[in-house]
Amino acid sequence: MGRIKSTMIKKTARKLLESDITFSTDFVHNKKLLVDTMPSKKIRNKVAGYISRLVEQKKENAI
């Protein structure tokens, strides 16, 4: 079982996914894209991981 993400992390990730930034399933790539927008390393890592997971789920549902 995994850990539950806070609502702040989920809202931020969904808002960023709606923006014009192109994210991928790669955590490191997403983390580098968020360096300018997120000042906190801990929050940036959580958001990047959640975005990676959402992109992967989106691809699975599209098939």
Q: Closest Cα to residue 16, out of 42, 61, 41, 46?
A: 46
Q: The pTM is what?
A: 0.89
pLDDT at 5 over 70: yes
The answer to whether position 37 is within a domain reads yes
The answer to whether position 16 is within a domain reads yes
pLDDT in tens, 19-38: 988 999 999 999 999 999 88
Domain count, the chain: 1
The answer to whether position 2 is within a domain reads no
pLDDT at 59 over 80: yes
- At 45, which CATH number? 1.10.60.20
The answer to whether position 57 is within a domain reads yes
pLDDT at 1: 67
The answer to whether position 1 is within a domain reads no
The answer to whether position 47 is within a domain reads yes
CA dist 61 and 63 (Å) reads 5
pLDDT in tens, 31-58: 999 999 888 999 999 999 999 999 999 9
- The range of the structural domain enclosing residue 58 comes to 7-62
